[in-house]
Structure 1
């Protein structure tokens, strides 16, 4: 699909990073299972991918700001625009040889995400959207699911690991939600969870304690596919506070109420 010059640059950058990551992914099975070895390997894969994305994006728009998972934030000469990039969302999946991870790139203008790309190189699925232009996966226009009954719907979330403090609250939300629906999935890549809501594969998604680069592109793709997206707690910011709840318009009120414990 044709898009703006910025969107085309984002898609080009995502594909270039994806090619690098696919090469590294083929080597994962050869790694020694040790803390240092795999961790260092994935860090190098992350860094290489971010360098590729940054070269493409900043080469095309050198005045824009930058926020990336690996490189941190850098203000640009143009204070109104910045790239928000996760070069490898789903690092744990990548490390374990699970082909479910993505490159996520968003463009923010005056505090609002106006373009987003989520690329899954393992499946060759490119999800993208521009504000007001609809959402797409490769050549297919995306639309959130039309399901109206909770009991027929599946939802996605991220289960906190390593003793993170939000675990009890997440488990309580699951306990409220599971009896009402067809299932909850935890696939380990927030950007793809949101892309799957946009594609109607999931009916909704929620998670806390995320980073801006995890969700910036995906939240726009969901909105442009006709979905509702809000912070979990009223008054919070999705990007600044790292929390999000998304679903199709019909299910959103019921789903949000259960997640929020209202």
Structure 2
């Protein structure tokens, strides 16, 4: 009974969060610069508080972790919610309609449910462990493309703020970008990894490549779960570095690098 309650609550909370963001997309926003090229708005902060409160009201004993927040997540929480109220704050602040709100629920370290809502296109992706993935209630599967030369790839470019890294990782990443553009059928460059992975899950793209250098495992938790449940695969481009990851998400048939 609890599982049904959690599933219904995630879908409801995701829909509510998406509606809130959509309704505030064209309104005035107070914008704060959190980092180079990164912004936070009063809308982010209000939604974060609302989502945390709603979860705690419904499940007071559950742990709530905000992606990029100040929470110190337990090693393996018995019942943990991982939420990113607004993935794409910079887009949202500048009026670019590519952003999402994400929710994942874990029990004893295992992800059981996840939802990613793309408010501006009214697309709500949802997955349940072992039961596949859905888009607006309809089952979805990854594409069958198996040749890179015919593939449609969603790419997150290396972020300029990492260009002065002494290790030369930025140049290495840009070299891989050149290689990908030369080999793939078509490469589209966006940010917002949760949107990219879900578009691979639905078969719209064949692969998602994250070279940004700013992604975290928690930030990608919901979307990567949905992609796997849709039949896709996630592989690491390199070991995690200070909590940051670089991954490739594919339909499981395509070799990108």
Q: What range describes the TM-score normalised by the shorter chain of this pair?
A: 0.7 to 0.9
Structure 2 stretches lacking a partner, 5+ long: 34-38
Distance verdict in 2 for CA 1:81–1:240, change over 3 Å? farther
Matches within 5 A, 1:35-74: 38-39=31-32, 42-69=40-67, 71-73=69-71
More helix per residue: 1
Q: Any idea what the Cα deviations from partners look like across 1:101-129, whole Å, max 9, x if unmatched? A: 11011112232322110001111100010
* Counterpart for residue 146 of structure 1: 144
Matches of 1:246 and 1:228, distance apart in 2 = 6
Q: Return structure 1 stretches of 4+ with deviation > 4 angstroms.
A: 236-241
Q: When the two structures are superposed, what TM-score results if normalisation uses the length of structure 1?
A: 0.83
* Counterpart for residue 128 of structure 2: 130
Structure 1 stretches lacking a partner, 5+ long: 32-36
Q: When the two structures are superposed, what TM-score results if normalisation uses the length of structure 2?
A: 0.85
Does the 8 A contact of 1:211 with 1:239 survive in 2? no
Give RMSD over aligned pairs: 2.4
Q: Comparing 48-57 with 83-92, which one deviates more in the overlay?
A: 48-57
Matches of 1:48 and 1:247, distance apart in 2 = 34
Does the 8 A contact of 1:66 with 1:74 survive in 2? no
Does the 8 A contact of 1:155 with 1:205 survive in 2? yes
* Counterpart for residue 203 of structure 1: 206
Matches within 5 A, 1:1-262: 4-28=4-28, 38-39=31-32, 42-69=40-67, 71-73=69-71, 79-164=77-162, 165=165, 166-207=169-210, 208-233=213-238, 236=239, 241-251=244-254, 254-255=255-256, 258=257
